[in-house]
Amino acid sequence: MSVEQMLKNRSNNECELCKATTELSVYQVPPVANATTDNSVLICSTCKTQLEKKAELDSNHWQCLNESMWSEVPAVQVVSWRMLNRFKNESWAADKIDMMYLDEEHLEWAKKTGDHEADAADKIHRDAYGVLLLEGDTVVLTQNLDVKGTSFSAKLGTVVKNIRLVADNHEQIEGKIENQTIVILTKYVRKK
């Protein structure tokens, strides 16, 4: 039986965080090497995009943690703890963090990614007009840019396909211009 099927059986075909029943997929709780039922959860697309910081956090959606934080499944507990900590500046989440208990091993796992140090105000990649940028998007330069370390400048209107997001800096993306990969500030692009 596949990991996905075992997770579906464990969760009764519901998101293990918010109980949604559509668009479910396996989420491996980082850091993991191989997906197992012990280190994975079945979640909906809404939970997944917000967990992976591909969409802004919706505080109302995460009220579901009131129930999921009490799960007997360690992976669900770890994700719940991380998400509660991302909302730690909101009173409802701070109260839940105070009530929640993780044993030493699971608390260590929860802290490994450093995600608990982030908060709901985490920045996500946005173009000059505030539109969400995702890995693989196509953007257009909104002004001429001198490219450091090269002899060319990128012209206004240049199309940059298949961008990559710079993980530790929400103000930067990477893209290829004239067959060279360069770092571009998000404030100088618009999503196409």
The 10s digit of each residue's pLDDT in 70-114 is 999 999 999 999 999 999 989 999 999 999 999 999 999 999 887
Mean pLDDT of the chain: 90
Across the range 122-147, mean pLDDT stands at 87
Residue-wise pLDDT tens digits, 137-180: 999 999 999 888 777 888 999 999 999 988 878 899 999 998 88
pLDDT, residue 132, reads 83
pLDDT at 119 over 60: no
Name the DSSP letter for residue 165.
Answer: E
Axis crossing angle, helix 74-86 with helix 91-99, rounded to the nearest 10: 140
Across the range 25-44, mean pLDDT stands at 93
pLDDT, residue 114, reads 76
pLDDT, residue 162, reads 95
Alpha helices in 56-139 (DSSP H): 65-68, 74-86, 91-99, 104-111
pLDDT, residue 121, reads 53
Q: What is d(CA 167, CA 94) in angstroms, rounded to the nearest whole number?
A: 27
pLDDT, residue 99, reads 94
Phi and psi angles of residue 20, each rounded to the nearest 5 degrees, phi first = -65, 155
Q: Can you name the residues that pair with 191 across neighbouring β-strands?
A: 139
| CATH 2.30.30.40 is right for the domain spanning 139-191 | yes
Stated pTM of the model? 0.69
Asked if 51 contacts 27 with a C-beta cutoff of 8 angstroms, the reply is yes
Domain ranges of the chain: 3-117, 139-191
Q: Is the dihedral of CA 60, 111, 50, 90 positive or negative?
A: positive
